[in-house]
Amino acid sequence: MLQSGKTDEEALNATLKHYENKIENEDDEHDLYLGLAYTMWKKGRLTNEIKELAFQAIEKDMVAQRWDGNSDYRIRKKKLLELKTMLESPQPERKKVSVHKPYKISFHEHDVYYYQLPPIELWESNYDKKKYAVYSRKYLIFYVKSIYGKDWNVKGVPDDVAIVYFFISDNKPERLEDIEKATFVDCAYEWVETSPKKRSSGITYLGNWDLSIESPKGYNFTEAHPRIFFGTEKEFERIIWDYTMLDKMRQEDEMVLAIAQSLGITSLKKG
C-alpha cells in the first residue's frame, strides 16, 4: 500500500478494509494483527493501536482451541513470545518506502514482432528434446492486440500489460503479410514486465498491422482467460509446449465429435 503513494494512515486503513470481509473467525483476526504488527514494526511504523491489538491476539492465541492436540503448539508459543518481546522493544527508525511509478510498456497496439527459437539443444526448458526438435530454430511471431492497465505489481498502481497472440513460422518473416503463412496459437497471453531489459534480446520489430481488421483471415481474438507471459527465452519455448497441448486437445475434441456423429448424436454437453 505504501508503494502506491498512500500515507501511513491511508495504507493502514486500506489494508484493514481489504481484509475486512476475509476474516471468518477470531483465528483469522489474530493472524491479521500479528502479521500487521510485525510488518509495521519492521518499517518503523507500528502504531499503539495495532500494537495493543497484537498483544491481545498473542494472549488469546496462547489458549486458542485450534492448538488443542497440535504438535506445533510449542513452536507457535515460542514464536508468539518472541514476537511479543520484539514489539515491546523500541522499533527501528521509520524506513523510507519507494513509491512505485506506473510502468509504461514500449509496445504499441497492433505491433508485430518476431523471435527465432534457439537450436533445440540450447533450450532452457526441460522438455523432451526429441519430441520438440521439429521446432528447433523456428520463428515465433507475436501480435500486440491491446494494452491496458493492471495493478499486478503494486495494488492500486496500474502498470501497462499487453495482450499478445503468437504464430509459429518455418521461415523468417520479412514483411507483415508473412504472418498469414504462420500457424496461429489459439491462446491469449498477458505480457507483464517491469523493465524491457528483462526481455529476450532476440526480439525483432516487424511493423504495425491491425490483424483483426486488415487481415484477410479475420482472426478472432477473444482475449478470454489469458496466460501470463514474461518475455524471457524460456517463456518463448513455453509457447511451443502450449501450442502442442492445445493442438492435442483440439484433435481429441474432433475425435469425440466424429464418434458422436457416427452414433447419431447431434449435440454434446460438456461435463
Question: What pLDDT digit, counting tens, does each position of 107-119 carry?
Answer: 999 999 999 999 9
**Res 17: pLDDT:** 84
**Res 263: pLDDT:** 63
**Res 77: pLDDT:** 85
**Res 97: pLDDT:** 79
Q: Give how far Cα 215 sits from Cα of 179, 218, 223, 255, Å.
A: 9, 6, 18, 30
pTM of the model: 0.66
Low-confidence ranges of the chain (pLDDT < 50): 270-271
Helix or strand or coil: residue 137?
coil
**Res 271: pLDDT:** 45
Task: Map grid coordinates 520438440 to a residue.
Answer: 132
Cβ-contact 77, 61 below 8 angstroms: no
**Res 19: pLDDT:** 82
Single-letter code of the amino acid located at 234:
K
Give the number of residues written for the chain. Answer: 271
Q: Give backbone dihedrals phi and psi of 191, rounded to 5 degrees, phi first.
A: -85, 110
**Res 215: pLDDT:** 65
